[in-house]
Amino acid sequence: MSETVAAGGPPEQEAFLQLRDVAKNLGGNPVLAGVSLDVFEGDLLGLLGPSGSGKTTLLNIIGGFTDLDAGSVRIAGQDLTALPPHRRDIGITFQKYALFPHLTVFDNIGFGLRQRKVAAPELRQRVGEMLAVLGLTGLAGRYPRSLSGGEQQRVALARALAVRPRLMLLDEPLANLDAALRQRVRFEIREILRSTGVTSIFVTHDQDEAFALCDRVAVLRGGRIQQIGTPAELIYQPANAFVARFIGSPNVFEASVQHYDAQTQSIRFVRDRFTGAACVRAPLTPGTRVEVFVRPDEVVIARADDVQPAKFRVKDWVHLVSGREAWIEGPITLRARLPSEATHLERGAAVIPSWRPERAHAFAIEPAPPAAATT
């Protein structure tokens, strides 16, 4: 079941990390149902999915902590399946950092080098380098419990990078940081991973983080990869209804197909006398029930004039940091975003919403979801 597309990366290049049809059942339930994934050398890949989508299990399988039931994991052509975790040479950072509380920052960072029997002078030098790179030099003698969350996070990163692993796995590295720190740390992490050039997989349930940190993002749900692509591809060309719903908290409503235009690969749909346009991934026959997804910032609202009878009225405004969001009510309820300096529209004002057809996405409503898709 590998319907996944390995997007990005030069096609002639052999992928550095190759997952093929990786499957895992836990207690009779498929946690991973045939995951295939290519990660190229130096890539920063995001693994994005809601909780229960199997992303942590996938991380554990790559790290060697969970056996797989079927499929294979290869790094640079080498099959990892039979290799125990301590011989995989994969750096991992954990959501709660999992620093060794009885060791100083210096000894935490030097732990991996010590396991590799690196001689003392070289160890000191390499730990010193990591301390400098991560701005931890003054903290070498401190114990983890006396560090702030951001500092612990950097120690965890330094500890994993000090052994120069061939692959880095980062499990929700920002989840335990407060919002203000999160913004800064995610760029720091990106910078550091970039400068070391290490191939990295970054697991998160937060799409903003995945988009800010990663070149490519794989969306996981119900143990299957739904789509792999750049952030722009996921936003503007969602592969299915799940991705469209998951990314960017769009307006969602049901409608039925009125007309399919093969040339533009778009449809006109109707919903209670309201008609609109949306693009589709496959031809649809008129009358098909579809779900339409359109993000609020793609919805433009204009004051209705006498020529076009108004079907929508402004119900309320919400102020957001990025602008104002209007709730408009008509045959459907829609959220539309306007920059703060936009013309004032009073509550109850008659308006007409519209959007560019390629920015709305329609998918046929399937009679019943596949069994593995329920999480």
Partner 1 sequence: MQVAPAIRSSRLSRRATSLLLLAPTTLLYLTVYLGGLVMVLVMSIDVPPGVDSGGATLAHYRDVFGSAPIGAIVLRTLRDSLATVAGCLLLGVPVARYITASASRWKGIVLMAVLSPLMVSAIGRIFGWIALFGPGSVIADGLTALFGGKPTGLLYTEAAIIIGLTNLLLPFMVLSVASSRAHFEEDMSKAALSLGATPLSVLLQVELPLIFPGILSGALIVFSLSTTNFVTAALLGGSGRDLVGYEIYLDILVYFQQGRGAALAMLLLVVVVALMALAIQTGVQRHEVRDTAARTRGT
Reported as type and span, the H/E element at residue 59 is helix 55-63
Write down the least CB distance from residue 126 to partner 1, Å.
13
Q: In the set 11, 101, 197, 348, which binds partner 1 (CB under 8 A)?
A: 101
104 binding partner 1? (CB under 8 A): yes
Report yes or no: 37 and 19 within 8 Å, Cβ to Cβ. yes
Q: In the set 10, 11, 67, 102, which binds partner 1 (CB under 8 A)?
A: 102
34 binding partner 1? (CB under 8 A): no
Strand, coil or helix: 360 = strand
Q: Which of 164, 184 has the CB closer to partner 1?
A: 164
Q: In the set 29, 146, 308, 322, which binds partner 1 (CB under 8 A)?
A: 146
319 binding partner 1? (CB under 8 A): no
Q: In the set 124, 142, 166, 313, which binds partner 1 (CB under 8 A)?
A: 142
Distance of alpha carbon 20 from its chain centroid, rounded? 20
Reported as type and span, the H/E element at residue 225 is strand 224-229
Q: Which of 9, 64 has the CB closer to partner 1?
A: 64
141 binding partner 1? (CB under 8 A): yes
Q: Which of 192, 362 has the CB closer to partner 1?
A: 192
Contacts of 109 (CB under 8 A, 6+ apart): 127, 130, 131, 155, 158, 159, 162
Q: Which of 20, 142 has the CB closer to partner 1?
A: 142
The stretch among 133-141, 265-273, 278-286, 327-335 that binds partner 1 (CB under 8 A) is: 133-141
- What's the half-sphere exposure (Cβ side, CA atoms, 13 Å) at 71? 24
Q: Between residue 147 and residue 176, which ones bind partner 1 under the rule CB under 8 A?
A: 159-160, 163, 165
Reported as type and span, the H/E element at residue 74 is strand 70-75
Contacts of 191 (CB under 8 A, 6+ apart): none
Reported as type and span, the H/E element at residue 271 is strand 266-271
Radius of gyration from C-alpha coordinates of the chain? 25
Q: Between residue 73 and residue 92, which ones bind partner 1 under the rule CB under 8 A?
A: 84-92
Q: Between residue 241 and residue 300, which ones bind partner 1 under the rule CB under 8 A?
A: none
184 binding partner 1? (CB under 8 A): no
Write down the least CB distance from residue 210 to partner 1, Å.
22
Write down the least CB distance from residue 70 to partner 1, Å.
22
- What's the half-sphere exposure (Cβ side, CA atoms, 13 Å) at 23? 13
94 binding partner 1? (CB under 8 A): yes
Helix segments in 162-247, DSSP class H:
179-196, 207-213, 231-236, 241-246
Q: Between residue 40 and residue 79, which ones bind partner 1 under the rule CB under 8 A?
A: 63-65
Rounded to 5°, the CA angle 220-226-230 comes to 90
Number of residues that bind partner 1 (CB under 8 A): 36
Binding interface with partner 1 (CB under 8 A): 63-65, 84-92, 94-96, 98-102, 104, 111-112, 115-116, 138-143, 146, 159-160, 163, 165
